[in-house]
Chain A
Amino acid sequence: MATTVLIVDDHPGFRATARALLEAEGFDVIGEAETAVQALQAARELQPDIVLLDVQLPDLDGFEVAERLTVNGTGPTVVITSSRDRTDFGPLVSRSGARGFIPKGELSGQAIAELLETPV
């Protein structure tokens, strides 16, 4: 059974490309969200394995959404993404409860798979 993914980003162009890319590599994209509120609702309803979460959202920032999703150690695996570099965020990624960070330019199914395989 394919790994399910929820893509959260306010740019429709990025969501479309990311969906195409991940589906081409065997992921099952089960939903998309534009805002933090939509993201939290969709995660609750769809129960995806992975949430691909952009940092910059119109309402809340991605780290706060990640915290809420991973509270109590339950919930989906959160992968933070951004067009900025990882070094722009420092320890924010690990503190937010997210599994890891992938720059948008380097996004691929394999990159996500590698991140999932690294021990927590």
Chain B
Amino acid sequence: MRTRVALVLVAGVAFSAIALWLVFSSNHDTHPAFGAALNLVVAWSFIASGLVAWTRRPDNRFGVLMTAVGLTWFIGALSESNDSIPYTVGIVLGLVGFAIFVHALLAFPRGYLETRIVYLTVGTAYAIVTVGQVVAALFYDPTPDCRNCPANALQVVDHNGVTTALNAVLSGLGVLVVGATVFVLVRRWRAASTPLRRALAPVLATGAVTMFLLALLLVLELAHPGAANVVSWVTLFAFASVPLAFLAGLVRSRLAREAVGRLVVALGRARAPGEVRDALADALGDPSLEVAYWLPEQREFFDLHGRRLPLPANDGARWATIVEWDGKRVAAILHDHSLLEDPALVEAAGAAAGLALESERRVAALAESEWRNRALLDAIPDLMFRLSRAGEYLEFKGRAEDVAASPETLIGRTIFDTLPADVASLLAGCIERTLESKELQRVEYDLTLDGRRRSFEGRAVVSGPDEVLLIVRDFTERRRQEAELEALHAELRDRLEELGASRQRIVEAGDVERRRLERNLHDGAQQRLVAVSLTLRLAEGKVATDPGVARQLLGTATEELAIALEELRELARGIHPGVLSERGLEPALGTLVARAPLPVEVDVPLDGRLPGPVEAAAYYVISEALTNIAKYAEASAASVRVSRRNGAAVVEVADDGIGGADPNRGTGLRGLADRVEALDGRLEVQSVPGQGTRVRAVIPCGS
């Protein structure tokens, strides 16, 4: 960098010497001393301020451009030469510095061009001072204006009309460039934030004035060449003032550092949260400044209200500068991009405010934790009351429909004003117990709200001297569910008991049936067979002595055997009808009906057979029902129907007898019901006196 500065300075000094020599040896300069002095001031003010800017921000091209304006300004001095070629270069390229100036102005303060209009403007400016000037020079004869001037080396044609026309075109374009530049500068000014405006103000103002004068000059040169001469001096002064304005801006920013000193004093006075921010905003001249406090437990930045404050990405209009205190991250200052003009200032301010920010950070941490607790409370659906010892409502959180009085009127009233006397005294007791024991107390109560009976459970804890926090939960729904569950349990218990009883009855019925069978076998077939055996033995003894008696005895034995066989068959049918298992329900019902003592109509519209257990249950229901009809119904006819409906077998037996049968009396029907229910079916008996009896069984056929 130093080499570059040295080179620029050496070049500047060399150019100055050459320019002075050219001016004072010129035979066509009317005000050599004045012109030389003014041009040197212009050139050196640009070179000096350019070098300052360049050294300060080497990556920003603004400094280079300003330096270039200064150095190229010396080209104009070549027009003082008495030789044709340097003279021609001087008059043709003498205005290059203005184009670079436009470039520098439009690149300020970032150092680079941005929008299309800016590119176009800068491009046009360069075109005018190079191509435009060269073309104009082809037709320009300087001798009429300047008797001693050397010849224009580029001149091909001497045509005053063309020169005038070309000058008019170039001036017009120049006015456009100037107009566009002023437009861009004004727009930039309006878009700038306050601190940025402050930084831009000197350069933009002097630049705009220069541009305006330049435009005036261009117009006047066409209309009033005499007046133009005066304006051109003024313009040069204005032009030279731009770099000085830039330097003045820098000085002002240096002065701003004094603000840090004031900041320290202001921080010493800062007491209330947020005053540190105000002091920083004031010292740095950025009203939009914010402070974000670092909470290490959360690993995030927060504001003083405990809300998250994410840092900007440091690539746009907002920037964040981290502040450390005692080697630890404390906060971040969120500020306008323009403060980066002097980043050290922001850091100095941050360092000065470090201690104050560290103590405010605790406020932020407290706010954050309070905010989190509040969020936690908000997330709890329970009602919360803060109540005084006397039962006065101090605070309330919850939904309006959950309280007995409107929430707006609640505070300041007491539980005795808003609640039924019994509930209020219950709560008062709970408050008293809580305050006495200093331990959590529970209370349960019911309230009728909007015509609905609701159950609440309250938990009270001490929340301050003579006050409790009562957290109330609505458990109406839970209580209802509990009742429902209890009912379900009861039903289940009943069903289990019924099932146990039914199983016991089935077992007992089985035992009774076996005893009956044994008794029947013993009393019936067995006795007959014993008798046959004895008769045969008797006959055996008589065969030789009394053949007539023997034959008679054999006849008796044969008859007894036939009866015994019939009894055995009857018994076997009672155990399980063979026809049922072999041929199915309908043929089995056929034999049942054939033995019945009254006419029975049978209707069995089944396609295919029912499952074995269902078939057997249906058979016994019909068999028992027919037996009952024969024994008690005094009926003249009966009907049997077995059908399939919705996956279940439906068995119906009806008679036209006297009715009045009681299904709970006697074991027959009860045993049948057990058998049907064991298959998840049900048995119904309708028996109105005088209207016959109807037995109906529905037995699911399973999957």
* Residues of chain A whose beta carbon lies under 8 Å from any beta carbon of chain B: 11, 13-14, 17-18, 20-21, 24-25, 56, 83-84, 104-105, 107-108
Nearest Cβ distance between residue B354 and chain A, in whole angstroms? 111
Name 29 interchain pairs, CB-CB below 8 A, sorted by A: A13-B527, A13-B528, A14-B530, A14-B531, A14-B534, A17-B531, A17-B535, A17-B538, A18-B534, A20-B538, A21-B534, A21-B537, A21-B538, A24-B538, A24-B541, A25-B541, A56-B522, A83-B522, A83-B527, A83-B529, A83-B530, A84-B522, A104-B533, A104-B534, A105-B529, A105-B530, A105-B534, A107-B534, A108-B537
A10 to chain B: closest residue by CB: B523
Nearest Cβ distance between residue A84 and chain B, in whole angstroms? 8
Most buried by B among A13, A18, A25, A108: A13
Q: Are A13 and B537 in contact (CB under 8 A)?
A: no
A103 to chain B: closest residue by CB: B530
CA distance A18 to B526 in the complex (A): 16
Which B509-540 residues have a C-beta within 8 angstroms of A?
522, 526-531, 533-535, 537-538
Query: B527, B537, B541, B542: which contacts A14 (Cβ < 8 A)?
Result: B527
Q: Which residues of A contact B537 (CB under 8 A)?
A: 21, 107-108
Q: Which residues of B contact A11 (CB under 8 A)?
A: 527
B542 to chain A: closest residue by CB: A24
Q: Which residues of B contact A56 (CB under 8 A)?
A: 522
CA distance A84 to B522 in the complex (A): 8
A109 to chain B: closest residue by CB: B541
User: Number of residues in B with C-beta < 8 Å to the partner?
Assistant: 14
B528 to chain A: closest residue by CB: A13
CA distance A84 to B529 in the complex (A): 12
Residue interface bits B533-560, CB-to-A below 8 A is 1, else 0: 1110110011000000000000000000
Which B241-267 residues have a C-beta within 8 angstroms of A?
none
Q: Are A104 and B522 in contact (CB under 8 A)?
A: no
Q: Which residues of B contact A107 (CB under 8 A)?
A: 534, 537
Nearest Cβ distance between residue B617 and chain A, in whole angstroms? 34
CA distance A13 to B541 in the complex (A): 19
Which B483-524 residues have a C-beta within 8 angstroms of A?
522
Nearest Cβ distance between residue B196 and chain A, in whole angstroms? 123
Q: Are A13 and B531 in contact (CB under 8 A)?
A: yes
- Known contacts A17-B531, A107-B534; is-contact A83 B541 (Cβ 8 Å): no
Q: Which residues of A contact B526 (CB under 8 A)?
A: 83
A-B complex: 6 closest residue pairs judged by Cβ atoms:
A104-B530, A105-B533, A17-B534, A83-B526, A83-B530, A21-B538
Known: A21-B534, A84-B522. 14 other contacts (CB 8 A): A14-B530, A17-B531, A17-B534, A17-B535, A17-B538, A25-B541, A83-B527, A83-B529, A104-B530, A104-B533, A104-B534, A105-B529, A105-B534, A107-B534
Q: Which residues of A contact B530 (CB under 8 A)?
A: 14, 83, 104-105
Tally of contacts, chain A with chain B, CB under 8 A: 38
Nearest Cβ distance between residue A117 and chain B, in whole angstroms? 20
A106 to chain B: closest residue by CB: B533
Q: Which residues of B contact A83 (CB under 8 A)?
A: 522, 526-527, 529-530
Which B123-144 residues have a C-beta within 8 angstroms of A?
none
Nearest Cβ distance between residue B591 and chain A, in whole angstroms? 30
Q: Which residues of A contact B542 (CB under 8 A)?
A: 24
CA distance A56 to B522 in the complex (A): 10
CA distance A29 to B288 in the complex (A): 139
Q: Which residues of A contact B528 (CB under 8 A)?
A: 13
CA distance A65 to B528 in the complex (A): 25
CA distance A25 to B534 in the complex (A): 13
CA distance A102 to B529 in the complex (A): 16
Q: Which residues of A contact B522 (CB under 8 A)?
A: 56, 83-84
Q: Which residues of B contact A20 (CB under 8 A)?
A: 538
CA distance A18 to B537 in the complex (A): 10
Nearest Cβ distance between residue B603 and chain A, in whole angstroms? 45
Q: Which residues of B contact A108 (CB under 8 A)?
A: 537
Nearest Cβ distance between residue A107 and chain B, in whole angstroms? 6
B523 to chain A: closest residue by CB: A11
CA distance A112 to B538 in the complex (A): 15
CA distance A105 to B529 in the complex (A): 8
B553 to chain A: closest residue by CB: A20
Nearest Cβ distance between residue A67 and chain B, in whole angstroms? 23
Nearest Cβ distance between residue B544 and chain A, in whole angstroms? 12
Q: Which residues of A contact B535 (CB under 8 A)?
A: 17
Q: Which residues of A contact B529 (CB under 8 A)?
A: 83, 105
CA distance A21 to B541 in the complex (A): 9
A23 to chain B: closest residue by CB: B538
Nearest Cβ distance between residue B532 and chain A, in whole angstroms? 9
CA distance A11 to B529 in the complex (A): 13
Most buried by B among A24, A83, A107: A83
Nearest Cβ distance between residue B547 and chain A, in whole angstroms? 14
B541 to chain A: closest residue by CB: A24
Nearest Cβ distance between residue A10 and chain B, in whole angstroms? 10
CA distance A105 to B530 in the complex (A): 5
Q: Which residues of A contact B534 (CB under 8 A)?
A: 14, 17-18, 21, 104-105, 107
Q: Which residues of B contact A17 (CB under 8 A)?
A: 531, 534-535, 538
Q: Which residues of A contact B541 (CB under 8 A)?
A: 24-25
Nearest Cβ distance between residue B542 and chain A, in whole angstroms? 7
Q: Which residues of A contact B538 (CB under 8 A)?
A: 17, 20-21, 24
CA distance A11 to B530 in the complex (A): 11
CA distance A105 to B522 in the complex (A): 13
Q: Which residues of B contact A14 (CB under 8 A)?
A: 527, 530-531, 534
Nearest Cβ distance between residue B632 and chain A, in whole angstroms? 28
A24 to chain B: closest residue by CB: B541
CA distance A20 to B531 in the complex (A): 12
A25 to chain B: closest residue by CB: B541
Nearest Cβ distance between residue B524 and chain A, in whole angstroms? 11
CA distance A84 to B533 in the complex (A): 14
CA distance A83 to B537 in the complex (A): 16
CA distance A24 to B538 in the complex (A): 8
Nearest Cβ distance between residue B596 and chain A, in whole angstroms? 30
Most buried by A among B522, B526, B530, B538: B530
Q: Which residues of B contact A13 (CB under 8 A)?
A: 527-528, 531
CA distance A13 to B529 in the complex (A): 11
CA distance A14 to B530 in the complex (A): 8
CA distance A21 to B538 in the complex (A): 6
CA distance A108 to B542 in the complex (A): 14
CA distance A25 to B541 in the complex (A): 9
Nearest Cβ distance between residue A18 and chain B, in whole angstroms? 7
